């Protein structure tokens, strides 16, 4: 049995849809009962409701598991203890393969959530549980948070420089790779940085979106202090500070890099480009 942890988020549901399309059953772990319908409609054949912060709940979720896809909730203040719970349960259940959804540039200490994932990678290596690390860069889908502003006002806003160069990946390419790694032998022992090869500034992204939509779209930056109350509507104070630190880092350094040959090798095809992604979502949303 494949078990997906953190399954009700965008990453988990994309992986569940992919496995369902392949006819592969998967158990999903979520924390809230309300998430059960969401993961079942994405394709989960079993659902465990529990808290990743509880070693007993994680053990219950992994009962009888052969392969596990660990997707820690985003910007968690418990990334490392949750990782330790997953490792302990994987060892106890003699899991064959632990796939950890990590991040690109885990070497950068200033990006605190990247650093935490690097710590978990190290603990997994030391645990001797067979592993694969998926290390994706920024999801192209993050643009959808601003979709209404982009299509309505022709402005793509974010609280960091519009000239910062960002490495990007389509979440659908990540789920294709995750499903492959979870169902094919031969991927264990690897850490795979995942990026499309498109390293774009938001100015360039806005220009591409404008070309696809057939109307002008411009990029705009606003201050992190202006963002804080917006972020606080849906995030804990801990998460607001983590995200603010990340935006300050993006403002100065961007998030460029990664080598797209890795993703092409894993997919067996060319990765989805930013333009292809924008055209797909614009069609899906009836914008073109």
Ligand X SMILES: NC(=O)c1ccc[n+]([C@@H]2O[C@H](COP(=O)([O-])OP(=O)(O)OC[C@H]3O[C@@H](n4cnc5c(N)ncnc54)[C@H](OP(=O)(O)O)[C@@H]3O)[C@@H](O)[C@H]2O)c1
CB closer to ligand X out of 29 and 87? 29
At 192, list the tokens: 């795979």
CA distance 218 to 186: 45
Name which of 88, 106, 111, 110 is nearest 98 in CA terms.
Answer: 88
Q: Dig out the tokens for 203 from the structure.
A: 């100015």
67 or 242, CB closer to ligand X? 242
CA angle 12, 15, 20 (to 5 degrees): 125
Shortest separation between residue 143's beta carbon and ligand X, angstroms = 10
Work out how close the CB of 172 gets to ligand X at its nearest, in angstroms, rounded to a whole number.
13
The residue with its CB nearest to ligand X is 9
Q: Is 209 helix (H, G, I), strand (E, B) or coil?
A: helix
Nearer to ligand X among residue 112 and residue 224 (C-beta): 112
Nearer CB in complex with ligand X: 142/215? 142
**Cβ closest to ligand X, residue 35 vs residue 161:** 35
What's the closest the beta carbon of residue 91 comes to ligand X, in angstroms?
A: 19
Please, which residue, 75 or 95, has the CB nearer to ligand X?
75
Rounded to 5°, the CA angle 183-186-192 comes to 90
DSSP 26-85: EEEEESSGGGHHHHHHHT-SEEEE--TT-HHHHHHHTTT-SEEEE-PPTT-TTHHHHHHH
C-beta of residue 40 within 8 angstroms of C-beta of residue 10 = no
Q: From the CB of 97, what's the least distance to ligand X, in Å?
A: 19
For the bound state, the minimum distance from the C-beta of residue 70 to ligand X, rounded and expressed in Å, comes to 9
For residue 214, the minimal CB distance to ligand X (Å) is 27
Q: At its nearest, how many Å lie between ligand X and the CB of residue 215? A: 26
How many CA within 13 A on the CB side of residue 130? 14
Whether 87 and 127 have beta carbons less than 8 Å apart is answered as yes
Minimum CB distance to ligand X smaller for 54 or for 211: 54
Binding site for ligand X (CB under 6 A): 6-12, 29-32, 35, 51-53, 71-74, 101, 103, 113, 136, 138-139, 142
Tokens of 201: 């500034």
């Amino acid at each position: 049995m494949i078990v997906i942890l953190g399954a009700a988020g965008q990453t988990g549901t994309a992986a569940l849809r992919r496995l369902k399309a392949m006819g592969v059953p998967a158990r999903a772990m979520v924390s809230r009962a309300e998430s059960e319908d969401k993961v079942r409609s994405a394709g989960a054949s079993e659902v465990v409701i529990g808290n990743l912060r509880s070693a007993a709940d994680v053990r219950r979720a992994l009962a009888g598991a052969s392969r596990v896809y660990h997707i820690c909730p985003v910007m968690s203040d418990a990334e490392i203890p949750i990782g330790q719970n997953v490792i302990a349960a994987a060892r106890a259940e003699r899991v064959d393969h632990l796939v950890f959804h990590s991040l690109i540039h885990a070497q950068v200490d200033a990006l605190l959530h990247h650093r935490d994932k690097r710590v978990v990678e190290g603990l997994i290596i030391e645990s001797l549980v067979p592993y694969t690390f998926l290390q994706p860069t920024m999801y192209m889908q993050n643009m959808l948070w601003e979709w209404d502003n982009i299509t309505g006002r022709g402005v793509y806003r974010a609280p960091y420089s519009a000239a910062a160069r960002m490495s990007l990946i389509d979440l659908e390419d990540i789920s294709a790779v995750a499903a492959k790694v979870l169902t094919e032998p031969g991927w264990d022992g690897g850490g795979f940085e995942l990026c499309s090869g498109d390293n774009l500034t938001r100015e360039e992204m806005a220009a591409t979106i404008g070309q696809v939509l057939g109307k002008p779209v411009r990029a705009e930056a606003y201050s992190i202090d202006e963002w804080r109350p917006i972020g606080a509507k849906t995030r804990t104070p801990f998460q607001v500070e983590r995200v603010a630190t990340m935006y300050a880092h993006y403002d100065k350094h961007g998030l460029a890099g990664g080598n797209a040959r890795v993703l092409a090798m894993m997919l067996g095809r060319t990765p989805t480009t930013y333009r292809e992604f924008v055209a797909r979502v614009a069609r899906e949303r009836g914008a073109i």
